[in-house]
Amino acid sequence: MHAKPLKHVRRALQLPLKSLNLQDNDLFTPELQDRLARELVRSKGLEDYKGKRISAEQFQNNLAGTWASIPVYGTGLNRKKKVRATDDQVQAVIGPLAPH
């Protein structure tokens, strides 16, 4: 296994780990993974998106910087230039998060 991907994961999780006030003995359970994911989404601009301070496209781009399966909006490619989910698929998931 390469150290570079692990370094990226560690860096991406630093903010969520600090804000959740986790203890050294907390187990990496499915519930904790869900909490980390929710906090990471929040840190990528969820409240700005809900408050209509950023567009759905910008929110998608913020998420694309962390999740390889999310493409940079309008490109169909993730940051490593590989095809992943489509913009329509991502927008269908994040669309309901914003107030109407």
Residue 25 — φ and ψ, nearest 5°? -95, 5
Residue 70 near residue 91 (C-beta atoms within 8 A): no
User: Which string of b and e fits 50-87 if b means at least 16 CB within 10 Å?
Assistant: eeeebebeebbbbbbebbeebbbbeeeebeeeeebbeb
Question: Each residue of 87-100: pLDDT tens digit?
Answer: 888 888 888 877 65
DSSP 85: S
Using a cut of 0.75, tell me whether the model's pTM lies above it.
Answer: no
CA distance 15 to 36: 10
Task: Locate the domains of the chain by residue range.
Answer: 3-97
Question: Each residue of 42-95: pLDDT tens digit?
Answer: 989 999 999 999 999 999 999 988 888 888 898 887 777 776 678 888 888 888
